[in-house]
Amino acid sequence: MTMKTRRIGTTDLSVTEVAFGCASIGNLYRETSEAEAEAVLSRAWEAGIRYFDTAPHYGRGLSEMRLGRFLKSRPEAVVSTKVGRILSPAGSTIAEADGYVSPAQNDVRYDYSGDGLEESFEQSCERLGRTEIDILYVHDIGEYTHGAEGNRPHREAFLDTGYARLVRLREQGRIKAFGLGVNECEVCLDLMRNAGPIDVILLAGRLTLLDRSAEAELVPACTAAGTSLVLGGIFNSGILATGPVEGATYDYGPAPEEVLNQVAELQARSEALGVPLATAALHFAMQHPAAASVLLGTAKPASLTRNLDALATPTPRGLQALFG
């Protein structure tokens, strides 16, 4: 497929319409060798993808280090990473952490204050081998991750000093854009109202063929504010790729019966049009007018190729009715 670019917010930064999400090369759910990580990153590059998203959370820094090595000779790449988690050498051996197998041996703590965000940023620069990072997302702030009580001090820290520090980093030229990297709409609306303008939101799982909850308030708010949306989690943790099979996953856990039934209906409607469910999910995300870029993440070159081929397939007539 021919890779187009789209601008981020009101900035001068443009990203490819497909981005590569680097969670899997941080050993998400299974160990990925250095050669395998290199191979899938190379496949993304060969396909014309020039936007790569990572985070300290992905393998406790492993994903950032692997991406940094790969991009060392590719300065034209656009890179986003995330802040809010600070890593430090682990006090004991870590075999698995947050779904990541054999992660880098680091402990983690949350800090959304200005000093905390800047420390997280500087750590990421070191792991990525860069002095500047194109896009910085505040990662997993909000009740989805921390609960109502747990999030309260994080929100206060971000409003008190965190937001202003990100503005300063952008003014200094250390970053070109900043925003939020989250799984919920509510925190985006809250911080857009109470912190200030943001350039972009990486929204996981809330603007998909299955879950379109962002369309009610967040999409209109972003359109009005000139805030871009990068879409992650477009298969809702797997179920839009596998269909409503036994063991299907939704939102990082077993899919409840209600969701299985919804997906079964979507699958029947898409297959009636001669379109596999996964292909419909891909085209929904790519064709959504709010999407600046769509994240595809995998540790397998064949999986990435399959998804890119599906996107290159012309949208069958009638599929728009499924999106309506």
CA distance 174 to 171: 8
Catalytic residue among 4, 29, 58, 134: 58
Closest CA to 180 of 172, 171, 191, 193: 191
CA distance 67 to 14: 20
Task: At 151, give phi and psi (nearest 5°).
Answer: -80, -20
User: At 228, is the pLDDT very low, low, confident or very high (cuts 50, 70, 90)?
Assistant: very high
Confidence at residue 314, expressed as pLDDT on a 0 to 100 scale: 85
Is 53 catalytic? The answer is yes
Catalytic residue among 51, 53, 100, 176: 53
Confidence at residue 215, expressed as pLDDT on a 0 to 100 scale: 96
Domains in the chain, CATH or no CATH each: 15-310 (3.20.20.100)
Confidence at residue 96, expressed as pLDDT on a 0 to 100 scale: 97
- DSSP secondary-structure letter at 146? H
The C-alpha angle 62, 68, 69, rounded to 5 degrees, equals 95
- Residues contacting residue 193 through CB under 8 Å, at least 6 positions apart: none
Q: How far is residue 114 from each of residues 159, 181, 216, measured CA to CA in Å?
A: 9, 17, 31
pLDDT surpasses 80 at 177: yes
Is 58 catalytic? The answer is yes
- Residue 86, classed as helix, strand or coil, is strand
Confidence at residue 2, expressed as pLDDT on a 0 to 100 scale: 82
Q: How far is residue 232 from each of residues 35, 129, 214, 291, measured CA to CA in Å?
A: 25, 25, 13, 10
Residue identified by tokens 């000779």 is 73
| Element counts in the chain: helices (H) and strands (E) | 12, 16
- DSSP secondary-structure letter at 162? I
What tens digit of pLDDT does each residue of 79-120 get?
999 999 999 999 999 999 999 999 999 999 999 999 999 999
Confidence at residue 315, expressed as pLDDT on a 0 to 100 scale: 78
Catalytic residue among 12, 29, 72, 82: 82
| Per-residue tokens: 129 | 């081998």
**Average pLDDT, whole number, for the chain?**
96
Q: Give the pTM.
A: 0.97
Q: Bridge partners of 179?
A: 137, 200
